[in-house]
Structure 1
């Protein structure tokens, strides 16, 4: 146990979190069982350590961070370790990468039932379906998603500003005033293209090649997260990777499921399941017409965030595709995003009609009052014309 406390102390003392994630204030920390999901490289470990740093003195042995990567846990269950921690005064156990241990959900259930004064906060892959696939956690776990940096967080980090997030309602009703508060302090266009290229994953701050690091992360998502958690045999890995690459290369559009099935030599149903797994891993986004959902074919499949475009297919990145990818990625956290197969408008929350467009090429465009125009290549807005970058302030 002493070795774990020494590691905890060192990690908390050296945690570097220059931008405080908004999720920290969205979680009800009074709950006894809290699950935080997110993709690799998104900052889950830093988030746990930041929580420990904010709420406990580094010498306080009531809180302990552990990582299931430690081989020690191959010989000792979570519940057994948690009991030892609890009976020596421990009250908050932070468990990183919980899915690395077999029967982790049953072990967490044991902890919940046996140690009523113990709070457990654990992290896991975005591929995990905490309640659907782990019925023993139903009714006891509160699940949250940690996302990559928003454009707002990216700007705050690079400029030292402390801009707050805005709701979609605030932006729609008051965007001209909001912009007047931001522009004197920073020029968003100076940072927007950098964010589109390399701002979503926190590891852009590291002194390593970002695209190479992201490619490594993407491979780990498919090789470990999808295969391990979904219990898929290794021999099918090449099919999943090939499918992912083909979807990325084709750009945002409705997938030809029959052709994809033929190309990777599998069934249509398996192709749709693979697309769902890639979506769960936050590598893809599926957009559906209103009233439809998986397992039906989506009206559009696109990469989850714009950084992935430059990592997987840097030879030719279509600017419009990148901007629409940013739009969907910014909105889907708190809003429902739909699109029909017949037009290029997005419908948000089944009522707000959006069109993503280039401000430099729409001077002769006829703007209609029933549509909100999210325009890029501009910093200002007017009426129902909103600068696209401002939607990066939604969280």
Structure 2
């Protein structure tokens, strides 16, 4: 236990983050069991360390541990937690717990046995937490997204910017944009964000594209098969489908066409799309009132964020799809997004939104919110696209 505590201290000392993730304020610290889900590279480990540093600095009753540790694998998770509790432990931060066999059952046993112990654990975005029979009703779950454009600007400039609900942006976007423009010229940083700014690890990586492609392959080759039990011989089909989606400028979900393109059944295509949606490689859009559990097929599909799209397509990126991917990646973290015939997207069942290049949406009806790229300020129902990056 002493060696684990020493490792915890070393990790905290090495943690030199200059940004505080907004999710920190949304965590219910009174909850006894907290799950932080996220895709590869969004910073789940660093979030646990920052949680420890902010709320339990110098407190020996809080311990960070990676459950891949052989000590835990040998003794068992429950017995490790029991020992930690006996030694006065109060807060346990468990990283990558979902890779431990029977993790959900043992977490439930810990929850029942130690009522004065708080456990915060990280999980892959693929893993279903809320519907898990052992954890249902006792776990508070949070999704950690990649860096918003706002958070990226904070890292790049050292300045602080508030986040705004999309509804407030619609009403006050001219005023909000003016206040931001007093401190920074967002468009000077926007291109870099689209290329590599979504994943905080960009600060440590020299080759952003290589890193992203490696993460994509790890997700497809290890994460998805680990949870979904896909046979290895079908991994090529998953990769083919991801590339087909990335290079499809229509974004329409045509199951028959996709089935023919990669040589699998229609049902398999739907399963693959859902796997990659859960892995945060894709974003699937449904009509309002539908979702992936309704049994209906999605209407549109997009690569989850512009960094992934750039890495997959390289110099073949469709600019309008890139703009839409950015908008979705920013709003999906905090808003309900649906397909609509009226525009490109429907936000929270209330705001139809058109995403386009500068000057392309001026003929849209006033009831449609137009998000235009490459403008600093908007007017009326026309808003600058970069401002969508300030929703979280």
Question: Above 0.5 in TM-score?
Answer: yes
1:384 paired with 2:381, answer: yes
Q: Which residue of 1 aligns with 2:255?
A: 257
1:310 paired with 2:319, answer: no
Q: Which residue of 1 aligns with 2:352?
A: 353
Q: Which residue of 2 aligns with 1:5?
A: 5
In 1, Cα distance between equivalents of 2:296 and 2:149 = 32
Contact 2:39/2:280, CA 8 A, preserved across alignment: yes
Query: Residues 359 and 96 (structure 1 numbering): CA distance in 2 closer, same or farther, change over 3 Å?
Result: same
Q: Secondary structure at the match of 1:158?
A: helix
In 1, Cα distance between equivalents of 2:250 and 2:336 = 18
Let me know the Cα RMSD of the aligned residues: 1.4
What's the CA shift for 1:207? 3.8
Post-superposition CA distance 1:37-60 (Å, at most 9, x none): 0001110000000111112233x3
Q: Which residue of 2 aligns with 1:200?
A: 198
What's the CA shift for 1:376? 0.8
Q: Secondary structure at the match of 1:140?
A: coil
Post-superposition CA distance 1:151-197 (Å, at most 9, x none): 00001110111001011121111111111111121001101111111
Q: Secondary structure at the match of 2:134?
A: helix
Q: Which residue of 1 aligns with 2:29?
A: 29
Q: Which residue of 1 aligns with 2:238?
A: 240
Q: Which residue of 2 aligns with 1:17?
A: 17
What's the CA shift for 1:361? 4.6
Contact 1:359/1:376, CA 8 A, preserved across alignment: yes
In 2, Cα distance between equivalents of 1:353 and 1:262 = 33
In 1, Cα distance between equivalents of 2:364 and 2:270 = 37
In 1, Cα distance between equivalents of 2:33 and 2:50 = 18
Contact 2:247/2:317, CA 8 A, preserved across alignment: no
What's the CA shift for 1:370? 1.1
5+ long unaligned stretches in structure 2 = none
What's the CA shift for 1:77? 1.5
Write out aligned runs for 1:216-365 (5 A): 216-294=214-292, 295-340=295-340, 342=341, 344-361=343-360, 365=362
Query: Residues 263 and 317 (structure 1 numbering): CA distance in 2 closer, same or farther, change over 3 Å?
Result: closer
Q: Which residue of 2 aligns with 1:135?
A: 133
Contact 2:255/2:266, CA 8 A, preserved across alignment: yes
Query: Residues 281 and 251 (structure 1 numbering): CA distance in 2 closer, same or farther, change over 3 Å?
Result: farther
Contact 2:343/2:368, CA 8 A, preserved across alignment: no
Contact 2:205/2:211, CA 8 A, preserved across alignment: no
Query: Residues 66 and 291 (structure 1 numbering): CA distance in 2 closer, same or farther, change over 3 Å?
Result: same
Q: TM-score, normalised by structure 2?
A: 0.96
What's the CA shift for 1:143? 0.4
Q: Which residue of 1 aligns with 2:57?
A: 57
5+ long unaligned stretches in structure 1 = none
Q: Which moved more, 1:102-111 or 1:232-241?
A: 232-241
Q: Secondary structure at the match of 1:356?
A: strand
Q: Which residue of 2 aligns with 1:373?
A: 370
In 1, Cα distance between equivalents of 2:219 and 2:250 = 21
What's the CA shift for 1:242? 1.5
Query: Residues 126 and 97 (structure 1 numbering): CA distance in 2 closer, same or farther, change over 3 Å?
Result: same
In 1, Cα distance between equivalents of 2:164 and 2:34 = 26
Query: Residues 139 and 258 (structure 1 numbering): CA distance in 2 closer, same or farther, change over 3 Å?
Result: same
Contact 2:41/2:201, CA 8 A, preserved across alignment: yes
In 2, Cα distance between equivalents of 1:367 and 1:268 = 36
Post-superposition CA distance 1:57-109 (Å, at most 9, x none): 33x32011110222223212211100000000001110000011100000100
What's the CA shift for 1:318? 1.3
Write out aligned runs for 1:86-165 (5 A): 86-132=85-131, 134-165=132-163
Q: Secondary structure at the match of 1:250?
A: coil
